[in-house]
Amino acid sequence: MLGDQLSPDLSSLRDADKSCDVILIAEVREEATYVRHHKKKIAFLFAAMRHFAKELTASGYTVRYIRLDDPDNQGSLRAEAARALEEVQGLDRLVITKPGEWRLLQDMEQWGTLLPVPVELRDDTRFIMPLTEFEAWAKGRKQLRMEYFYREVRRKTGLLMEGDQPEGGQWNYDAENRKRLPKSMVTPPRFLPEADALTREVMALVAERVPDHFGDLEPWVFATTRAGAEAARDHFIAEILPGFGDWQDAMARGEPWMWHSLLSVYINCGLLDPLDVCRRAEAEWKAGRAPLNAVEGFIRQIIGWREYVRGIYWLKMPGYAEMNALDAHHPLPEFYWTGKTPMRCMAEAIGQTRRYAYAHHIQRLMITGNFALLAGLSPAQVNEWYLLVYADAYEWVELPNTHGMALHADGGLMASKPYAASGNYISKMSDYCEGCSYDVKRRTGEKACPFNFLYWDFVDRHEARFKNNPRMAVICKSLNRMSVSERAEIRSEAAGFLREIGLNSP
């Protein structure tokens, strides 16, 4: 069982015999370091794995648990499987729930010829929409838009449905969910558990073994047991969900959590069941304790976006990761690692990411992702950054969100337009611009906001591609109303700024 398969309902356990079967769970360096994962991410997963092993043992299973600091640890999953088959007598086959990453599945599909017993790979049944159903939905469609997929999943689950129609008469309440946080508003207190003794032990191990990895181990913010994850779920649903809809896109200095659930880290590793979480949220609306726009927006993130990006990933890999439709090749600037930049919005989002291994979806899409898009950063490097810095990131969920949504590197397969925005959007949805070194109202000139001239430089560079796009045509027309000298000044400012941060112009 893998580190993101911490569920007693896993398909590989479906017919497990407690009297004779052995469950293998291993902390291996290969998985911890194939990218330099955030130290807090590694510590969270290893601690959750250890707690899960105890849970399985208490329920009667025999668990062979390999710690990272085991002197005999072979360093890879395949080698640990081989060692278990050699050291434990009477094992006649290996049963695995398919992993969520393409690279690991490709490796495991070879295990049957490399190991001395048959290897059975089972589908991961913890998702609502099997991959075969997603493929059937996608077949023959020129555009794979999440909104239409989401409606199919709503019908399948019955969530927020009245017969065949959506509750309230609308499928999507996004228009109500874009409010800026009022200055007088106080964000709700969070359920942020302290690290227990087991977790502290793992944190010390991670600090010792991967000291040069990105991010901070302190302060600790994640539950590492199923009971803790359920407590976090219950706190969010009872105390925070009602405000989630209105302010889910808002950002504020010193406010990393806002009204977001922080549940993706638990759902994506198996400590929480996604459909159960959605049904509990729906019950709050039915009981009149949470408004429909909040509950629908929350449920859409789970049964809409989460299921959709998984389908895109497995439908389009491995070629999807290689796409670079906008021909972007700049390396990642150093401030993506340090957070040290005069751009306050970037400093806030990256600093928060270093500290907590977390940022909410608008920070990821419209701050760090938006900058990467406008500056023409390499999709491969940006994808790796997103994969390693966030505790909830696994390639199946990270890659489509980054590659398709943030970077438009798939050429519009997922999004009908690039999620590009100037400083005006950031000013509207946050307080980041207040006291920033740059002036968000200036397009060019001294102290002009980099998001402004980079935005128009981006439109200028890609005008031929986007001028016939219905959602970009108005923007391209605005560009063409600028004087020749103004467009030249924008290009010059963009090139100069990129040089200042160590990049050549695109």
Whether residues 118 and 160 share a domain: the answer is no
Which band of pLDDT confidence, cut at 50, 70 and 90, is reported for residue 180? confident
pLDDT at 238: 96
| Phi and psi angles of residue 25, each rounded to the nearest 5 degrees, phi first | -130, 130
Q: Is the pLDDT of residue 17 over 60?
A: yes
In this model, does residue 241 exceed pLDDT 80?
A: yes
The per-residue DSSP string of 290-314 comes to: S-HHHHHHHHIIIIIIIHHHHHHHH
Domain membership of residue 55 as a residue range: 11-122
Q: Hunting for tokens 């809809």 — which residue is that?
A: 245
Q: How many domains does the chain have?
A: 3
Structural tokens at position 313: 């990933």
Contact partners, residue 253, CB within 8 Å, separation at least 6 = 344, 348, 430, 431, 432, 434
Which tokens sit at 442?
């200036």
* Alpha-carbon span 205 to 432, nearest angstrom: 36
* CA separation for the pair 49, 224 (Å, rounded): 8
State how far the Cα of 99 lies from the Cα of 44, in Å rounded to an integer. 19
CA proximity to 409, closest of 373, 385, 384, 374: 373
| Cβ–Cβ under 8 Å, residues 35 and 78 | no
| Chain segment 312-367, per-residue pLDDT in tens | 999 999 999 999 999 999 999 999 999 999 999 999 999 999 999 999 999 999 99
Q: Which of 456, 215, 459, 437 lies closest to 346, judged by CA?
A: 437
Q: Report the SS3 class of residue 126.
A: coil
pLDDT greater than 80 at residue 177? no
Strands 22-26 and 62-66: parallel
CATH number of the domain at 401, please: 1.10.579.10
Q: Are residue 426 and residue 465 in the same domain, yes or no?
A: yes
Q: Which residue has the tokens 């199923």?
A: 226
Kindly report, residue by residue over 462-478, the tens digit of the pLDDT.
999 999 999 999 999 99
283 and 189 fall within a common domain: yes
Q: Which of 66, 98, 122 is the last residue of a domain?
A: 122
Confidence class for position 176, pLDDT limits 50, 70, 90: confident
Per-residue confidence (pLDDT) for residue 505, from 0 to 100: 55
Residues 235 and 369 in one domain: no
The pLDDT assigned to 84 comes to 97
CATH number at residue 187: 1.25.40.80
The tokens describing 72, both together, are 């005999």
DSSP alpha helix (H) spans, 366-444: 369-375, 379-389, 395-399, 423-429
Domain membership flag for residue 260 = yes
Residue with tokens 């400093």: 347
Is the residue at 2 inside a domain? Answer: no
Identify whether residues 312 and 376 lie together within a single domain: no
Describe the crossing of helices 131-138 and 146-157 by its angle, rounded to 10 degrees.
130
Q: Are residues 138 and 271 in the same domain?
A: yes
Whole-number Å distance between alpha carbons of 48 and 53: 9
CA distance 220 to 203: 9
Last residue in a domain, options 102, 122, 142: 122
Look at residue 174 in the predicted model and tell me its pLDDT: 85
Residue 39 within a domain: yes
**Domain assignment present for 211:** no
Q: Does residue 506 carry a pLDDT above 60?
A: no
